[in-house]
Amino acid sequence: MPNPSPLSNESLGPSNPEAERDRGRLRRSVKRPVQFLSFWGAIALPFIHLPLLTQGLGDPHVTLTFLALLAINVLALYVGHGYNR
């Protein structure tokens, strides 16, 4: 006799193919604009880095801003790399 699980799966219910299709359509409809914004953001962000670099990174706030922008740029490159293929 198998041990009953302390957690019930009754709330999960059977999968609904229509709901799965709707989620797939939603993902596709959101993916393209997100990739577009990320792609062009990755292109534009280095122009914001230039004034920070010319000002110098001696101030901790400027350094932190530069590193945050750099991290955002790397994330934008990753998300937007598949745009317009």
**Total-model pTM:** 0.66
Judge whether 42 and 76 are in contact, CB under 8 Å. yes
User: Helix H segments across the chain?
Assistant: 17-55, 60-80
Which amino acid does the sequence have at 22?
Answer: D
Q: Whole-angstrom Cα distance, residue 23 to residue 42?
A: 28
Domain ranges of the chain: 33-85
Kindly report, residue by residue over 29-71, the tens digit of the pLDDT: 888 899 999 999 999 999 999 999 998 989 999 999 999 999 9
